[in-house]
Amino acid sequence: MSNSQHHDPAGASPPRGSVYWVDLGTVDPDATASFYTDLFGWSVAAPDSSGYRLCSLGARFVAGLGVSESAESPQWAANFREEDLSGRVEIFSRWGGETIVAPARAGPLGDFALVADPAGAAVGLWQPRQPSGMELRDEEGSFAGLVLLAENPRSAAEFYVGAMGWSCAGGGEGLILTDGSLARVETVAHLGDDRSQWIVTFACRDVENARSRAIARGAREVAVLADGLPLIRDPCGALLGLRPSR
């Protein structure tokens, strides 16, 4: 989760344990909003009192941009829907995870907690109090899935099977979330460091064109994963993946 107030708009709720909302904390919200507007065609709303901005395609919400107080390691955050937030945090702890932000009320829409797996990859958990979440997925400019870059992919997969109730995909290529989507699990060595982390990917009709346009707007490519998915850092340093739209 970014260092910003979580906000999620009205929409249909996905099943427990699936991605509910994605957002990014940035030290330069104006520049970040401009970058993603140019890259994905988003409309970015004016900030609320906390500086948080809702991003949409057409009339459907796709993501949020918040204000971060630190320029270190900005990161797109995936937040998973839960029905028993405190219970899930306890399960994470039993499996060796860490609680970063204990369960707490986060406005009228729901409760939030931030945990991390044993290797340090952060996981946002959200228990809604009313129907809400992303309103568009797997289409141009919207959320298109996750990749977990882990120090030890096998151990990471085993942890999430226990802590989140997911299952391992055949062939060991990743994890199957509760909504049936696949989250690939690969070695963090792709990034040249040892910091395990979740990567949010976005759908592009033409990945190569999107990659080129992102670089022309100040992003840089840092890796290409085994399935050909490029990872880039936006101008403020946040990692994201570009995936062909379905």
In this predicted structure, the answer to whether residue 9 has a pLDDT above a threshold of 50 is: no
Fold of the domain spanning 19-128: 2,3-Dihydroxybiphenyl 1,2-Dioxygenase; domain 1 (3.10.180)
Q: What is the mean pLDDT of residues 117-124?
A: 95
| Confidence tier at 12 by pLDDT (50, 70, 90) | low
Tell me the per-residue pLDDT of 57-112, one tens digit each, with 9 for 90 and over.
999 999 999 998 776 778 899 999 999 999 999 999 999 999 999 999 987 888 99
Q: At what angle do helices 85-94 and 153-164 cross, to 10 degrees?
A: 140
- Asked if 72 and 81 touch (Cβ cutoff 8 Å), the reply is no
Q: What is the pLDDT of residue 113?
A: 97
pTM assigned to the model: 0.92
Tell me the per-residue pLDDT of 126-174, one tens digit each, with 9 for 90 and over.
999 877 789 999 999 999 999 999 999 999 999 999 999 999 997 767 9
| Domain covering 143-244: architecture | Roll (3.10)
Q: CATH 3.10.180.10 spans which residues of the chain?
A: 19-128, 143-244
Q: What is the pLDDT of residue 106?
A: 85
Tell me the per-residue pLDDT of 197-223, one tens digit each, with 9 for 90 and over.
999 999 999 999 999 999 999 999 999
Q: What is the pLDDT of residue 3?
A: 41
158-164 long-range contacts, CB within 8 A, separation 24+? 159/95, 159/96, 159/97, 159/117, 159/118, 160/117, 162/91, 162/95, 163/91, 163/92, 163/95, 163/97, 163/117, 164/17, 164/80, 164/88
In this predicted structure, the answer to whether residue 2 has a pLDDT above a threshold of 60 is: no
